[in-house]
């Protein structure tokens, strides 16, 4: 590990998740200052590169969500600048950020993930939307879950319970991305498992159970206090808990991630978990899941963030 001088928290960006990122960055900066770290918070604008070159931080904590924050682009720039940062390297980010690709990778490792199809908007235009949608329903059945293949915070995502609902769900999805992931909906308990690695290998924090008031964990349910009930640790059997934790660590390893990640899962009525997606820059807001998991594990969030920065700063 390395002693920290000053560190940089990156927050904001230009993705649809900008406001969430700003809240995450503010929270990380607060807990780091409480842990005795000299913190500067910056947005990703034209002043970033000159300022980093003029006064290089010892390490960077990336709290950018969506877009360049999770697709590896900003991390590529940080590597060009020779600045260490918390989290996965650019290549791993690119794989994890694309949900169909991430699903294919974890499936190759033997992990359960719902059957799905990923189709770009052009396919519907070229082949005829009604014919393609009819085949999707015939192949995958109902209900379905539709979401953009890239992005987060449940923007553009919806449950489809009848064939008549599918066209509108596709339109809503394409408002946030050019490719839709249409997934067989698995009913069950929604949980998130955060994984951290402080130098001794990745370990899972306690799973957090998510129970949205409206039945769907959408953008409002995620970021409006009181719209969702959380249980940390999740109300699962010991066997299901262990299976969820093992799946999150396996996904973290399969995708080549490092330092920190959060895997979203569905646990069916038999206690079997299904991989949905992984986040390389988990939310850190007051209603985010990693901070809840850290508290459930008896870990101080500031100490955890500081430890991740020290690992990054000490990387050769």
For the annotated binding site for Mg(2+), the residues are 264, 277, 279
**Annotated catalytic residue within 116, 149, 194, 288:** 288
Of the residues 21, 153, 158, 194, only one is catalytic, namely 153
Active site residue 162: no
Q: Are 239 and 298 in contact (CB under 8 A)?
A: no
Write down the catalytic residue from 15, 17, 116, 158: 17
What Cα–Cα distance (Å) separates residue 240 from each residue in 146, 189, 237? 26, 11, 5
Active site (annotated) includes residue 30: no
Bind-site residues? 264, 277, 279
Three-state SS at 8: strand
Q: Is 288 a residue of the active site?
A: yes
Active site residues: 17, 153, 288
């Amino acid at each position: 590990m390395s002693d920290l001088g000053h560190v940089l928290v990156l927050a904001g960006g230009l993705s649809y998740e900008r406001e969430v990122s700003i809240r995450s960055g503010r929270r990380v900066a607060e807990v780091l200052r409480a842990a005795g770290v000299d913190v500067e918070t910056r947005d990703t604008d034209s002043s970033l590169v000159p300022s980093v070159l003029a006064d290089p931080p010892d390490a960077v904590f990336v709290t950018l969500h969506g877009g360049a924050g999770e697709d590896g682009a900003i991390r590529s720039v940080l590597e060009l600048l020779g600045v260490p940062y918390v989290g996965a390297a650019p290549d791993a980010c690119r794989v994890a950020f694309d949900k169909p690709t991430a699903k294919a990778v974890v499936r190759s490792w033997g992990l359960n993930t719902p059957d799905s199809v990923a189709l770009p908007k052009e396919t519907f235009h070229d082949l005829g939307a009604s014919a393609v949608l009819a085949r999707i329903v015939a192949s995958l059945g109902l209900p379905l879950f539709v979401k953009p293949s890239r992005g987060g915070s449940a923007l553009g995502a919806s449950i489809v319970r009848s064939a008549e609902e599918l066209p509108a769900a596709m339109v809503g999805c394409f408002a946030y991305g050019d490719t839709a992931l249409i997934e067989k909906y698995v009913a069950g308990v929604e949980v998130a498992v955060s994984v951290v690695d402080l130098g001794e290998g990745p370990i899972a924090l306690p799973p957090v159970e998510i129970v949205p008031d409206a039945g769907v964990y959408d953008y409002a349910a995620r970021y409006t206090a009181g719209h969702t009930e959380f249980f940390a640790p999740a109300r699962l059997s010991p066997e299901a808990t262990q299976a969820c934790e093992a799946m999150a660590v396996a996904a973290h390893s399969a995708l080549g991630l490092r330092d920190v990640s959060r895997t979203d899962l569905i646990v069916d009525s038999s206690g079997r978990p299904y991989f949905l997606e992984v986040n390389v820059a988990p939310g850190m807001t007051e209603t985010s899941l990693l901070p809840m998991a850290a508290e459930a594990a008896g870990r101080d969030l500031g100490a955890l963030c500081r430890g991740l920065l020290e690992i990054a700063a000490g990387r050769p």
